[in-house]
Structure 1
């Protein structure tokens, strides 16, 4: 018999409450305590997105992207192609910082279908255009 499992990404931060509110607003979700771990908050989105934010007093924000090495773990948030500009404005209004990746000397064009950001605690995420039609 297979044991039922559920997984989700957990991001560390020195102050989890504002970071949890940021992602709840960005994902149109809600923030709830995890129950078992008082340092963990859970974000549940309208489409079942699950994300955890955990208190880590010694958290050091990652440095991404760096052209000399590979990407670190990062969250991809999918939006309809026609809503990408609006999603970017929303993310920035909530406190996200745009990141320009450099690859082989050329800068990433902000008009592309994948736009890179740092959340208020320095974690990388991408807003990506995704056509959900069959």
Structure 2
């Protein structure tokens, strides 16, 4: 092992807004350094951290095409897919793929286009 995972960072146009979305999805505390609002962190449970970095000319990934590849995605475990879907849609997510309920995960995009999956656990 060379190192340990410290932070997973996502590029976006508005770090504070996207951190708020993910706080609603997985919990945690949004930490904004008043001297640098281009980098915002979501401090989660057990030291897990998601970071959000402002990119002025941000271009959202495309699903399922690769002209603008997804670049990365996050899997979130949930007990009830239907209930979790309703909650993430209310937060501002967009459903990208649900396979008509035939799989135990569903693909969504966050408010700026990053794909993430809700997975039954």
TM score, norm. by length of structure 2 = 0.82
Kindly state the Cα deviation for residue 31 of structure 1 after the two structures are TM-superposed: 0.4
Q: Which runs of 5+ in 1 are unaligned?
A: 102-107
The structure number with the bigger radius of gyration is 1
CA 1:39–1:74 in structure 2 vs 1: closer, same or farther (change >3 Å)?
same
Q: Which runs of 5+ in 2 are unaligned?
A: none
Q: Give the structure 2 partner of residue 98 of structure 1.
A: 95
The question of whether the paired residues in 1 share the 8 Å contact of 2:62 and 2:70 is answered with no
Please identify which structure carries the higher helix content: 2
Q: Cα RMSD (Å) of the superposition?
A: 2.8
CA 1:127–1:55 in structure 2 vs 1: closer, same or farther (change >3 Å)?
same
Alpha-carbon separation, structure 1, partners of 2:96 and 2:31: 29
Alpha-carbon separation, structure 2, partners of 1:93 and 1:47: 27
CA 1:71–1:31 in structure 2 vs 1: closer, same or farther (change >3 Å)?
closer
CA 1:7–1:99 in structure 2 vs 1: closer, same or farther (change >3 Å)?
same
Alpha-carbon separation, structure 2, partners of 1:54 and 1:67: 22
Matched, 1:124 2:121: no
Q: Give the structure 2 partner of residue 63 of structure 1.
A: 62
Aligned residues: 120
